[in-house]
Chain A
Amino acid sequence: MCACVCHPTDATLQVDISDALSERDKVKFTVHTKSTLPNFKQNEFSVVRQHEEFIWLHDSFVENEDYAGYIIPPAPPRPDFDASREKLQKLGEGEGSMTKEEFTKMKQELEAEYLAIFKKTVAMHEVFLCRVAAHPVLRKDLNFHVFLEYNQDLSVRGKNKKEKLEDFFKNVVKSADGVLVAGVKDVDDFFEHEKTFLLEYHNRVKDASAKSDRMIRSHKSKNQLHFRTETQQVSCSPDRKFFLKVSELFEKTRKIEARVAADEDLKLADLLKYYLRESQAAKDLLYRRSRSLVDYENANKALDKARAKNRDVLQAETSQQLCCHKFEKISESAKQELIDFKTRRVAAFRKNLVELAELELKHAKVKGLVTVRSR
């Protein structure tokens, strides 16, 4: 179910989510690790983690200056069962007003929906961990190891108000800065191209993702209807036999359509959503690089000034060297990261588009058969 294409199973470090438990307001993931690395006490072990702890891990990567040159795998979205829970509740309230049969049917459908959402959130958390484990540098991160191994609660509380406010301001500054930085034309063609490309791509993926969501949503809501249509048909007599057949047909096609919508959701919508987040992460990388370029240029200017005034030259020189070094390091790794990003992206799109087409074909054929047979 991964929207990304993880590296083939690497014996040195394998991470997956072997189990998950959904409680009232949280989901508990069992993170299972198999490793031959010496850093770990055992070769195979599991811990239980919650969503906040994933976020903590992600944020620790982002804040780590050493990782400025890498595309940080995007954090998994928060598990959101509210809509599904609401529907189940409404169903419970309306139990009196429908027949037992209808009730059980609807209940089954809603439960299936809940299960689907659940599976998705598990998959997305797993993808995050896989990506970290597959990254040559990030996999060695200490926080990551703690995350995998420490079998007590990490006591990572969610950010309190003050911290959230700080984050907010940081983002504001970042986006303003981002605009300034984006205006600077890069000397390096590769990066210049990537910058333009990513900006546009990101926006378009956002748009495509939103539209595909809407399309799939209306597909799903269309399916809700048939359900009632068929139940009514049954009572029209004396052509009872005929109408029964027709209503059976409608019910079957509706089930198939539901599966089509679910598959589209998985293969298309999820793919787009994931790449929306990844392209944002890639943009962040470019931003960090540009930021460090600006810092480097500023350091150069400071050095020139210092030389001219012949004051604090040594200090300026060290600072400039640091900046230079940082910039070059980021540029180098960024290049590789972006190339990898492209490869991953192409592969993921290919896999998902092929699977989407195959599934659509399969369902269309089944639907055709069912309809023809009923004639």
Chain B
Amino acid sequence: MNVISKFHGFVASSSGKSGPASLPAEDISTNSNGPKQDSLFDDDPEDLFAEATEEVSLDSPERDVLLSDGPSPAITPITPPTSVITPRIGLAHDDMFTHSSFDEIEEEEGGDSFDIHIAVSDPEKVGDGMNAYMAYKVTTKTSLSLFKTDEFSVKRRFSDFLGLHSKLASKYLHIGYIVPPAPEKSIVGMTKVKVGKEDQSSNEFVEKRRSALERYLMRTVKHPILLKDPDVLQFLESSELPRAVSTQALSSAGLLRMVNKAADAVNKMTIKMNESDAWFEEKQQHFENLDVQLRKLHASVESLVCHRKELSVNTAQFAKSAAMLGNSEDHTALSRALSQLAEVEEKIDQLHQDQANADFYLFSELLGDYVRLITAVKGVFDHRMKTWQKWQDSQLLLQKKREAEAKLQFTNKPDKLQQAKDEIKELEGKVQQGERDFEQISKTIRKEVSRFEKERVKDFKTIIIKYLESLVQTQQQLIKYWEAFLPEAKAIS
């Protein structure tokens, strides 16, 4: 996309700054709303409340990332992003390059970041029996020059996603990048689907998984470094992907993973790190707290969903009962009014169900995602500790060798001495490297955490506002229903 056309798009959206149109009620189930106008004119996210009254822009993360990491292909993936600031749009567009696109096609939680949008759709059951699996269509729409075409799609199965995550984790976690975790495996859920039970709960399971996969991919590509990773590109583009066997739960790789996890946990307890940087200590505490809070909140929201569903069932039953009562009532007007009441209650029941879905898909899943994300964040902090440990270990070793060398000085063993001197040289190199690694990971983590927090704040706000929208919708519907009923009730006499 050349610069000029971008300009046009830009001019067109500049009118949107003043009154935003009222937030359209987001339909959870799907579909694109019209292009959003003033998405890029958001205020500084520090002013949280002000932003809440504007049009919800699902693009705002884009701005930060745009500035931070020049999407021009010249930059290699290894350079860490420059610190993320949130500029006024005027500034942004001056040094903006090829990729700020205002092509906003929105679906669900997807937003355009880097002008890339991924949708996971059309779950299809492939195969039969215990070897069956669900294939999902992954569609990417983008104008980034990173990709060969503007729009393309591939078929992927769940283990492919897990494979992608495991590759990214092994490449980036240990140097401090927060790699978004993949959705969890569920043996029970999948077995039901495999066995071919075409019922409500397995449909819900597939939908839940589909939505989670979509969010996972979007989070991954929002990360400027991960987006350019060849594995990610291959995942999105190539039609054939080697089967990721090591992701199976009961495979040898799976067992190895479990063993490693256990070993890590033990190690964590034994590493006593001298934290010289208060920032890290503070952040770690912060994430611990956040973890606890989010888990509690998640549990509460999940039980809210349960209760709302129960309420909906009971309302439906009452509606039927009221209809029966209306039937047996022999006073005509009253009978009609009772039937109307039954209808109202039935509609309300449907409302409750829809609301429960909103509760769930918007709120509860978001919380679940973040609980897992925070685990990844904690993992990154742990890696830093490990890096520190490695550095300290090589330092200790160096010291020992130096002492040994000093001792050797007094004996007459020139080759041993030389060997010791060589080893010391090597170790000195290692120590320096260790120190560099440690500094590097610390730096990376700082940036990552800051990016993560910004994302998190935006994410939460967006979702919560959407949720509030759904609540408003529900209320308006309720009002309509009762308003329609009132004259019927008054007509009884």
Q: Which residue numbers of A lie inside 8 Å of B, CB to CB?
A: 197, 200-201, 204-205, 207-208, 210-212, 214-215, 217-219, 221-222, 225-226, 228-229, 232-233, 235-239, 241-242, 245-246, 249, 253, 342, 345-346, 349-350, 353-354, 356-358, 360-361, 364-365, 367-368, 371-372, 374-375
Which residue of chain A lies nearest to B317 when distances are taken between CB atoms in the complex? A211
Given contacts A222-B310, A242-B464, A245-B52, 12 further A-B contacts (CB under 8 A): A204-B324, A204-B328, A211-B318, A214-B317, A215-B311, A225-B300, A229-B301, A253-B471, A345-B334, A353-B341, A368-B476, A371-B468
Smallest beta-carbon distance A246→chain B, Å: 6
Q: Which residues of chain A come closer than 8 Å to B128, judged between CB atoms?
A: none
Contact residue among A208, A214, A219 (Cβ-Cβ distance under 8 Å from B324): A208
Question: Is B290 an interface residue when CB atoms closer than 8 A count as contact?
Answer: yes
Whether A242 lies near B461 (C-beta < 8 A) is yes
Smallest beta-carbon distance A163→chain B, Å: 36
Contact residue among B286, B301, B321 (Cβ-Cβ distance under 8 Å from A208): B321
Whether A349 lies near B334 (C-beta < 8 A) is yes
Q: Which of B142-150, B233-241, B479-487 contacts A (4 or more CB under 8 A)?
A: B479-487
Which residue of chain B lies nearest to A272 when distances are taken between CB atoms in the complex? B325
Q: Could you tell me which residues of chain B, from 440 to 470, have a CB within 8 Å of some CB in chain A?
A: 453, 457, 460-461, 464-465, 468-469
Contact residue among A200, A211, A232 (Cβ-Cβ distance under 8 Å from B293): A232
12 contacts between A and B (CB under 8 A): A208-B325, A225-B307, A232-B296, A242-B49, A242-B457, A253-B471, A349-B492, A350-B489, A353-B492, A354-B489, A371-B468, A375-B465
Whether B311 lies near A222 (C-beta < 8 A) is yes
Question: Is B297 an interface residue when CB atoms closer than 8 A count as contact?
Answer: yes
Q: Could you tell me which residues of chain B, from 241 to 293, have a CB within 8 Å of some CB in chain A?
A: 286, 289-290, 293
> How far, in whole Å, are A228 and B301 apart by their CA atoms in the complex?
10
Whether A228 lies near B300 (C-beta < 8 A) is yes
Q: Which residues of chain A come closer than 8 Å to B464, judged between CB atoms?
A: 242, 246
Whether B307 lies near A221 (C-beta < 8 A) is yes
Question: Is B23 an interface residue when CB atoms closer than 8 A count as contact?
Answer: yes
Whether B297 lies near A233 (C-beta < 8 A) is yes
| A361-B52 CB under 8 A given contacts A211-B318, A253-B471, A354-B490 | no
Question: Is B190 an interface residue when CB atoms closer than 8 A count as contact?
Answer: no
Q: Could you tell me which residues of chain B, from 178 to 202, have a CB within 8 Å of some CB in chain A?
A: none
Contact residue among B304, B329, B338, B457 (Cβ-Cβ distance under 8 Å from A222): B304
- Interface size on B, as a range, is 35 or more
Q: Which residues of chain A come closer than 8 Å to B404, judged between CB atoms?
A: none
| A197-B328 CB under 8 A given contacts A357-B486, A374-B468 | yes
Contact residue among A232, A236, A245, A368 (Cβ-Cβ distance under 8 Å from B472): A368
Q: Which residues of chain B come closer than 8 Å to A218, judged between CB atoms?
A: 307, 310-311, 314
Question: Is B84 an interface residue when CB atoms closer than 8 A count as contact?
Answer: no
| A357-B482 CB under 8 A given contacts A232-B296, A235-B293, A346-B334 | yes
Interface string of B314-331 (1 = CB under 8 A from A): 110110111011011111
Whether B325 lies near A225 (C-beta < 8 A) is no
Question: Is B63 an interface residue when CB atoms closer than 8 A count as contact?
Answer: no
Whether A357 lies near B485 (C-beta < 8 A) is yes
Contact residue among A200, A211, A246 (Cβ-Cβ distance under 8 Å from B328): A200
| A346-B331 CB under 8 A given contacts A207-B321, A215-B318, A219-B311 | yes
> How far, in whole Å, are A201 and B469 apart by their CA atoms in the complex?
42
Whether B304 lies near A368 (C-beta < 8 A) is no
Whether B486 lies near A229 (C-beta < 8 A) is no
Smallest beta-carbon distance A344→chain B, Å: 12
Question: Is B478 an interface residue when CB atoms closer than 8 A count as contact?
Answer: yes
Whether B331 lies near A238 (C-beta < 8 A) is no
Contact residue among A212, A226, A235, A371 (Cβ-Cβ distance under 8 Å from B318): A212
Smallest beta-carbon distance B315→chain A, Å: 5
Question: Is B419 an interface residue when CB atoms closer than 8 A count as contact?
Answer: no
Whether A375 lies near B52 (C-beta < 8 A) is yes
Whether B321 lies near A239 (C-beta < 8 A) is no
> How far, in whole Å, are A365 and B477 apart by their CA atoms in the complex?
10
Whether A239 lies near B48 (C-beta < 8 A) is yes
Q: Which residues of chain B come closer than 8 Å to A204, judged between CB atoms?
A: 321, 324-325, 327-328
Q: Which residues of chain B come closer than 8 Å to A350, judged between CB atoms?
A: 334, 337, 489-490, 492-493
Question: Is B210 an interface residue when CB atoms closer than 8 A count as contact?
Answer: no
Q: Which residues of chain A come closer than 8 Å to B341, judged between CB atoms?
A: 353
> How far, in whole Å, are A208 and B320 apart by their CA atoms in the complex?
8
Whether B289 lies near A235 (C-beta < 8 A) is yes
Question: Is B53 an interface residue when CB atoms closer than 8 A count as contact?
Answer: yes
Q: Which residues of chain A come closer than 8 Å to B483, judged between CB atoms?
A: 361
Whether A249 lies near B468 (C-beta < 8 A) is yes
| A365-B314 CB under 8 A given contacts A229-B297, A353-B492 | no
> How far, in whole Å, are A339 and B71 apart by their CA atoms in the complex?
84
